[in-house]
């Protein structure tokens, strides 16, 4: 019996009319979740982690990212927006935060809660967890990036035990601010919209189908690039806003290495870019880095600043954010904990343990529900794989020869999809036709035979 597919929500979707079947996306996908069949790409939903690598690398812009629209604000009586440092990084540091907040209010948000503040509470949880697990298997792995969490689920389930079980800052912020606003405004939670401004598709996916929280309090998300365009027209204003924001250490979460710094981890490593993260996790899986305490992983190059939905160039954004952080540092105590203590004055901020759900494996390759049938298919797959050239060229529409072998035993592809196997088959067929042609008796038309006989009689 064939395995029954599990339905996963994905924010990255293919626009088939734009796809040219060039296989660029096939080679870029870290989980081998894309095939090209009949000239068009197909996404395998059980493997996709919504990292956006396909969309970023497609020369024909054939991939789209689904996000919410501002029309959704009308469905709620009170709307709260959660800007992250990645939003502030889109603007030069000479544009004050207050001006950006005013712009968000002008767009239609009733309240602003800075995600950088929530980051500081999560940073202290990380610091505490790392200290408590000093004798466990290392390194511990950051849980901040949903795409990395999904990559671990799909490709490295053995590393799940090393993931630090804390909430992403945006999720923690949403839990706190919705609860607090409901009490302050005397409104039911159902009438309060809490919106995140997302720099990447994986965060949008995580709202719809979370890997890390039992029940998200985030209503939805907006593309950072879309909000940026609106903000350019709405910056500033005269409305007085009481925005709770974090210190420079919370702001630093926007760029790679900021999470490690804010958690006070001195023996850590920050990795960004899905290919680099994949390579790192392979080494961690082989226990080659036990001397390291912590790894901070971001699927996007440059961290969240390099997200697919960002508006500004990631290097410009990093420059903007680092300058903004440097400006805040001048006004803060030199000690990290003292600087964070100035802003961490919220009462009853949620602790991750009460809300975080257990990360579970997501099997990528399940040949069949029946174990005996699965074993037969696996043996057949090994046979097919041995017959393939092993070049992993991608010309067949699969990312590798192993991927093609799996597709063949599942009845989704044929051996002659491999161009080398096709060429060998054509060559064998042509040789066979030549041999057959040699064995065919010479045939003469009747008229030619009669003429030959007549010529012989005259002779």
Domains annotated on the chain, with CATH? 1-64 (3.30.70.20), 70-354 (3.40.50.1780), 368-459 (1.10.15.40)
Each residue's pLDDT tens digit, 35-93: 998 889 999 888 899 999 999 999 999 999 988 999 999 999 999 999 999 999 999 99
Give CA–CA dist 8/45, Å, rounded.
6
Sign of the Cα torsion 56, 57, 58, 61 reads positive
Which pLDDT score, from 0 to 100, does residue 455 have? 61
Give CA–CA dist 172/177, Å, rounded.
9
Give CA–CA dist 287/285, Å, rounded.
5
**Angle (nearest 5°) at CA 95 between 243 and 330:** 75
Find the distance separating the first CA and the last CA of the chain, reported in whole Å. 78
Give CA–CA dist 202/216, Å, rounded.
15
Each residue's pLDDT tens digit, 205-263: 888 888 888 889 999 999 999 999 999 988 876 667 788 899 999 999 999 999 999 99
Residue 207 makes CB contacts below 8 A (sequence gap 6+) with: 196, 216, 218, 220, 221
Per the omega criterion (within 30 degrees of 0), is the bond before 404 cis? no
Please give the C-alpha separations between residue 154 and each of 13, 29, 396, 437, in angstroms, as whole numbers. Answer: 19, 13, 23, 54
Which pLDDT score, from 0 to 100, does residue 388 have? 84
Which pLDDT score, from 0 to 100, does residue 4 have? 43
Residue ranges, the chain, pLDDT below 70: 1-6, 237-239, 364-367, 442-459
Which pLDDT score, from 0 to 100, does residue 3 have? 44
Model's pTM, two decimal places?
A: 0.84
Distance of alpha carbon 277 from the chain centroid: 12
Contact 203, 146 (CB under 8 A): yes
Contact 167, 352 (CB under 8 A): yes
Please give the C-alpha separations between residue 260 and each of 166, 270, 271, 277, in angstroms, as whole numbers. Answer: 14, 8, 11, 16
Sign of the Cα torsion 120, 125, 131, 134 reads negative
Which pLDDT score, from 0 to 100, does residue 453 have? 58
**Token pair for residue 223?**
């593309």
């Amino acid at each position: 019996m064939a395995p029954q597919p599990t339905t996963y929500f994905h924010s990255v979707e293919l626009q088939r009319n734009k796809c040219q079947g060039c296989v660029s996306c096939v080679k870029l996908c870290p989980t081998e979740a894309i095939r090209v069949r009949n000239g068009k790409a197909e996404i395998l939903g059980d493997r996709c982690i919504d990292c956006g690598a396909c969309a970023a690398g497609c020369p024909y812009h054939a991939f789209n990212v689904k996000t919410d629209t501002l029309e959704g604000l009308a469905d709620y009586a009170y709307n709260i927006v959660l800007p992250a440092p990645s939003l502030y990084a889109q603007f030069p540091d000479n544009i004050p935060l207050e001006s950006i907040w005013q712009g968000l209010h002008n767009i239609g948000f009733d309240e602003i809660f800075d995600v950088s503040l929530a980051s500081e509470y999560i940073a202290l949880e990380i610091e505490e967890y790392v200290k408590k697990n000093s004798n466990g298997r290392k390194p511990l792995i950051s849980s901040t990036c949903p795409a990395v969490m999904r990559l671990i689920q799909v490709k490295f389930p053995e590393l799940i035990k090393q993931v630090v079980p804390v909430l992403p800052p945006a999720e923690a912020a949403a839990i706190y601010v919705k609860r607090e606003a409901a009490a302050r405004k005397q409104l039911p939670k159902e009438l309060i919209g809490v919106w995140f401004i997302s720099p990447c598709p994986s965060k949008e996916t995580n709202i719809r189908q979370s890997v890390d929280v039992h029940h998200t309090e985030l209503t939805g998300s907006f593309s950072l690039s879309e909000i940026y365009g609106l903000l350019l027209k709405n910056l500033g204003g005269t409305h007085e806003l009481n925005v709770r924001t974090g210190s420079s250490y919370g702001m630093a979460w926007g760029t790679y290495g900021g999470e490690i710094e804010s958690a006070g981890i001195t023996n850590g490593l920050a990795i960004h870019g899905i290919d680099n993260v994949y390579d790192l996790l392979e080494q961690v899986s082989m226990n080659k880095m036990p001397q390291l305490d912590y790894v901070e992983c971001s699927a996007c190059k440059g961290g969240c600043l390099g997200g697919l939905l960002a508006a500004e160039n990631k290097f410009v954004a990093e420059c903007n954010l680092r300058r903004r952080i440097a400006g805040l540092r001048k006004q803060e105590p030199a000690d990290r904990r003292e600087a964070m203590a100035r802003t961490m004055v919220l009462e009853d901020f949620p602790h991750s343990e009460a809300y975080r759900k257990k990360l579970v494996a997501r099997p990528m390759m399940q040949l069949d529900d029946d174990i005996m049938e699965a074993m037969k298919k696996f043996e057949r797959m090994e046979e097919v794989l041995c017959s393939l050239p092993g070049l992993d060229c991608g010309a067949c529409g699969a990312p590798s020869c192993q991927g093609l072998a799996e597709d063949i035993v599942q009845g989704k592809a044929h051996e002659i999809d491999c161009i080398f196997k096709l060429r060998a088959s054509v060559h064998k067929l042509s040789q066979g036709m030549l041999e057959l042609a040699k064995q065919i008796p010479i045939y003469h038309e009747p008229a030619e035979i009669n003429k030959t006989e007549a010529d012989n009689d005259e002779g």
